[in-house]
Amino acid sequence: MKFNFDNKKLNNPAYGAGCLLKGLAMLKLPVLRRFILLPVLINLILFGIGFVVLQHYFSELMTWLIPEWLDWLRWLLWPLFGLSFILVVYFFFVMFANLIAAPFYSLLAEKALIVLSGDKVENSSVLPLMKTVMPAIMSELGRMGYFITRAIPLLILFLIPGVNIVAPFLWFLFGAWFFSLDYTAYPLESQGILFKEQREIMKKKRLGALGFGSLLSFCLAVPILNLFIPPAAVIGATVYFMDAEKER
């Protein structure tokens, strides 16, 4: 099945955000639940490590990022930089978790596609999953390369006094954009669409992508909920394309 895109609908930020919520709702479907449990366990372990990192370095970093001459703006900058630090830390842990869970997410996207098509999900053996391990991990590594080459210049902005005031906003926009690329990759790859073409597709739907990615970024900052957001995002990304196609 090749997607036929309703570009106007896909470029709607409210539609993009709504697809993530639909993905969350679909987590409870019994036919998908068995493909979700292991990724959630991976997230639990890695996000737990991320929480420890946050606790250990948070106060010291806030003191360093807000110099004395900006002390009068501390009431505004503290929550701004605080949220940014949380997003940056979880962003990197999400990337690592996605690298480990990539084969499971590829399979989850395929099963979600079947469910949304109205077909029956057959019981899967371990063999199909094993076949997807290396391709899924290599695809995720390719996206990580795209991320790192753009994230490093943005992270440097946090180190420049004065300029670091705008850095959180730029990081949030970049994070929302990249998350939309990362999670829509799974349903698109199931149709044989590779990363270069994926980027071209999503560039034409920036507003919808930012709607999806922005809500996802906020949800990742919420403890407990963030354990379930990555698999929900995989399903939501599949909904993002399938719901638009059905109404063409």
Cβ distance 229 to 42 under 8 Å? Answer: no
* Distance in angstroms (rounded) separating the CA atoms of residues 196 and 134: 19
The kind and range of the H/E element at 221 are: none
Across 147-166, b (16+ Cβ under 10 Å) vs e yields beeebeebeeebeeeeebbe
Cα–Cα distance measured from residue 231 to residue 69, given in angstroms and rounded to the nearest whole number: 43
User: pLDDT at position 75, please?
Assistant: 55
Q: Where are the domains of the chain?
A: 7-65+73-246
- Read off the pLDDT of residues 133-165 as tens digits, 9 standing for 90 and up: 667 777 788 888 888 888 888 888 877 777 777
For residue 100, count CB atoms less than 10 angstroms from its CB and return exposed for 0-12, middle for 13-18, buried for 19 or more.
middle
3-state secondary structure of 170: helix
Q: Which residues of 53-88 are buried (b: 16+ CB within 10 A; e: fewer)?
A: ebeeeeeebbeebbeeeeeeeeeebeebbbebbbbb
The pLDDT > 70 percentage for the chain reads: 75
Cβ 227 vs Cβ 43: under 8 Å: yes
User: Predicted confidence band at 77 (pLDDT cuts at 50, 70, 90)?
Assistant: low
pLDDT at 207 over 90: yes
DSSP 8-class letter at 247: T
Q: Which of 149, 230, 212 is nearest to 176 (CA)?
A: 212
CB within 8 Å of 174: residues ≥ 6 apart: 150, 151, 154
Query: What is the residue-averaged pLDDT of the chain?
Result: 80
* End-to-end CA separation in angstroms for the chain: 15
| The pair of three-digit structure tokens given for residue 242, joined into one six-digit string | 């399938």
pLDDT score for 132: 58
- pTM, 2 dp: 0.80
pLDDT, residue 24, reads 95
Tell me what pLDDT residue 240 has.
Answer: 94
Within the chain, strands assigned E span none
User: pLDDT tens across 20-69, in order?
Assistant: 999 999 999 988 888 898 888 888 887 777 777 666 666 666 666 555 65
pLDDT tens digits, residue range 95-109? 888 888 888 888 899
The pLDDT value recorded for residue 67 is: 58
pLDDT value of residue 221: 79
**Does 248 have pLDDT greater than 50?**
no
Burial of 93 (0-12, 13-18, 19+ CB in 10 A): buried
pLDDT tens-digit series, residues 110-132: 899 989 887 665 655 545 555 55
Q: Are 19 and 237 in contact (CB under 8 A)?
A: yes
